[in-house]
Amino acid sequence: MPDATARARAIRLALFDVDGVLTDGRLYFGPAGETMKVFNTLDGHGIKMLARSGVATGLLSGRNSEAAAARGRELGMPHVILGVEDKVAHFEALRAKLGLDASQCAFVGDDLPDAPVLARCGLAVAVANAVAEVKALAHLVTTARGGEGAVREFCEFVMRAQGTLEGARGPDGARG
């Protein structure tokens, strides 16, 4: 944990996989084939607080989903990258565009497609129900499962390490 706390102090960009991280990993298909996802408001508010604390946020997912795009917009996430096979290439391009070192970037994942980014970023985070290979790469494993508050736990961990948690809570009480 001390290594994770030290790494969290440097974070300026937090990226999240969607399925299995911001959701519980299940996909719901409607009668017309549309995909529906369930997002946790605790996670959403955590992302809003993290952004308020000065950490840029974004989604980095292999699945292209209008539901995820809408959620990213709703949360004011400036970096939403969906439907990509090579997550590392997009991670590297984004951090270069923002002028950030990999050590200033965190990624929260749960499954094998996330492993290459987790291996490159400064703070690799696995949700509690991630596959073993992802947990082995993680500097931090949340106690909460994906879609059940894991992202909120991560956000508060970073803000606590950076000393910004209380200020990020803000007076507005807006929900995520």
Nearest to 131 by CA among 141, 122, 121, 123: 141
Which alpha helices (H) appear in 28-110, and where do they start and end?
Answer: 41-52, 66-74, 87-98
- Confidence (pLDDT) at 1: 54
Nearest to 40 by CA among 166, 151, 167, 173: 151
In a domain, 176, yes or no: no
In a domain, 175, yes or no: no
Tell me the two tokens of residue 87. 């997550």
Strand pairing report for 28-29 and 35-36: antiparallel
- Confidence (pLDDT) at 35: 83
pLDDT at 87 over 90: yes
Domain of 22, in residue numbers: 2-169
- Confidence (pLDDT) at 172: 57
In a domain, 45, yes or no: yes
- Confidence (pLDDT) at 33: 84
With bands split at pLDDT 50, 70 and 90, how would you rate the model's confidence at 159? very high
In a domain, 174, yes or no: no
Q: How many CA atoms lie within 13 A of 17 on its CB side?
A: 32
In a domain, 105, yes or no: yes
- For the chain, the domain total comes to 1
In a domain, 74, yes or no: yes
Q: What is the pLDDT of residues 118-142, one digit of tens each?
A: 999 999 999 999 999 999 999 999 9
In a domain, 92, yes or no: yes
CATH of the domain at 126: 3.40.50.1000
Tell me the pTM.
0.93
Tell me the two tokens of residue 129. 């129900």
